[in-house]
Chain A
């Protein structure tokens, strides 16, 4: 039993069945290598082994924007609430927080920033193309 955040809700997940069709990517992995296996997977997990290792952010965007992945994209590893806002912008919709991090409290962090200048998965057009003149 593990607590995780999925689509901005805290859920309790039972242990996954061992044959679940899950792709797990490490930071150095190239998402292009799994691009043709994305159809029908239960989820893609991207590992963030350290607090400051930001490679997975690029992996998330590539999976969504370049390889068209629509299913669950889960960030696992050293995830704190301080990552959530940016991870969501990069296409992640599920998060296994590191031990000691309260997922209920962490929910507020999705709203740390209400806008972003840049184009991202959740805002495909950058702010300068969304401004009303």
Chain B
């Protein structure tokens, strides 16, 4: 856990004071609706469908139990006793009162938390691999680099009024668990032949209404240049990014309109001016930041044979929710927030307290939020796993479905969000109910199913193996289905991919059946269990799946003809 120093704390406290003043000026009529909107958004405060929504930052998803208990406390005191973990590894509260938000922020500041830049046209929470620091395939400890970026991107005087929001992800392991290819800037740590750390720099990726895979603009950026290079990219974006149309304002549009080569040239030209300047990182700073992270006091342990533990139900959980650890005798555990009947990513205040107790007893008082909206206990002794599993099961957090179809990523959708075209939570639940047979789920194998309630794509539907998008047709909720998306190189060779729409959209009630048909097609066509749903889509294309769902081309033409006749 990163511990604030005096200046980190002072800046957060000063932000609370500043926002309190801004709120008072707004309530007194001295700030216009538009002005206050821009200011409250950069403090994570939205005005939602039914009430404001406060998005609390959890930098790179790392959370201490003291902080989690404070979140539980705040959600009871100022909200309705629950919170929602988002795909940006943050926590959202759906029912705060505008005039109480400064007080909530003041309370958060007491545990080194805030809602700084969780929304608005600013740098957002830098995200990373939820197994940072414990993964066996680690190249660097990404938390240290994320904290350096967090500081650089917090209250940046030049880049606080960007054309649009800006999301940076950094991955520090060989497998990409941070989806760096679909971020405004993606940084993938690499080592050169001399073992020096650097970053592959991708730019212009993103989801939303114009999903694009990022392009590499630099294969190897030596680490001392990280901040000057980011500064050069951001200066080009801040000056030339479009501001005339909100839907064209993300950096991906600038990269696309200029073309990656010209964009790269502009960045390199800007960088040439500031390279080796004072913002060049120094080893002392990396060491200083690294030293401010608390580290688990690991014991010297031997690995256990978990397969030999014959407790019914335990093996299935181990298979899906327990992950390898770089230290012998330890494991990382995912606490699933995907129990059927509970909105994906939601936790109650009581669960938060109980999870904090679990993390204190079994995982050095820390936990992580994953971008798949689960929680991770990163440092559990293998010999404690049975006990952790029992307790997690009691709390409803042991659904053994990590990587499986029912581990659905979903935005809050039309139940809460003012932007949504359609609900997403009930769709998730209906699918989870349809696929409630665990053996069947395991047989289907790894499958990411993501749901967004509108084209802003907070549920990352473009990169789901199956992606579901809520659309509005004449005031009714319909659902478009894509297949073949992939969040990134979570395994070698599996590059990020955007899903393809299979055809006309469906009524909500039909969605589970359509998913079932897609699965049926996959099971018939796969070469072996090792070939995942998404692999089959990439091998045989979308057409066979289309046929399975809509009937063959002749039937489709006939139906199209009928529909036209009716219209």
Contacts and interface: CB of A to CB of B under 8 A. Distances in A.
Interface of A: 51-55, 57-59, 61, 66, 80, 82, 85-87, 89-90, 100, 112-120, 124-129, 131, 133
9 contacts: A52-B161, A54-B162, A57-B160, A58-B238, A82-B22, A89-B158, A117-B156, A118-B156, A131-B288
Given A82-B22, A113-B11, A57 B278 contact: no
A126 B155 CA distance: 13
Contacts of B35: 51, 80, 82
Nearest to A30: B239
Interface string B278-298: 110110110010000000000
Interface string B251-275: 0000000000000000000000100
**Residue with the highest number of chain A CB atoms closer than 10 Å, among B121, B152, B161, B282:** B161
B566 interface: no
A128 B288 contact: yes
B39 interface: yes
Given A86-B157, A128-B288, A119 B279 contact: yes
Contacts of B278: 119, 124-126, 129
Interface of B: 7, 10-11, 14-15, 17-18, 22, 30-31, 34-35, 38-39, 121, 151-152, 154-163, 227, 235, 238-239, 243, 273, 277-279, 281-282, 284-285, 288
Query: When A and B form their complex, which 4 residue pairs have the shortest distance between CB atoms, in order from nearest?
Result: A54-B161, A89-B157, A86-B157, A128-B285
A17 B163 CA distance: 35
Contacts, number: 95
Contact of B160 (A86, A114, A129): A86
Contacts of B15: 113
A115 B6 CA distance: 11
Given A86-B158, A112-B18, A118-B158, 12 more contacts: A51-B35, A54-B160, A55-B243, A58-B235, A58-B239, A82-B39, A86-B157, A113-B11, A114-B14, A119-B278, A124-B278, A126-B227
A57 B157 contact: yes
Given A115-B7, A115-B10, A128-B282, A57 B273 contact: no
Given A55-B239, A129-B282, A117 B151 contact: yes
Given A82-B35, A126-B278, A113 B155 contact: yes
A117 B155 contact: yes
Contacts of A90: 157-158
Nearest to B150: A117
**Residue with the highest number of chain B CB atoms closer than 10 Å, among A55, A119, A133:** A119
A120 B243 contact: no
A58 B156 CA distance: 11
Nearest to B162: A54
B121 A52 contact: yes
Contacts of A80: 31, 35
B152 A118 contact: yes
Contacts of B39: 82
Nearest to B151: A117
Nearest to A125: B278
B258 to A, nearest CB: 15
A120 B278 CA distance: 10
Given A86-B160, A114-B14, A119-B277, A54 B154 contact: no
A87 B239 CA distance: 15
Contacts of B14: 112-114
A57 B238 contact: yes
A60 B530 CA distance: 57
Contacts of A86: 155, 157-158, 160
A124 B274 CA distance: 12
Contacts of A53: 161, 243
A90 B238 CA distance: 14
Nearest to B122: A54
A115 B14 CA distance: 10
B469 to A, nearest CB: 29
Contact of B279 (A52, A57, A115, A118): A118
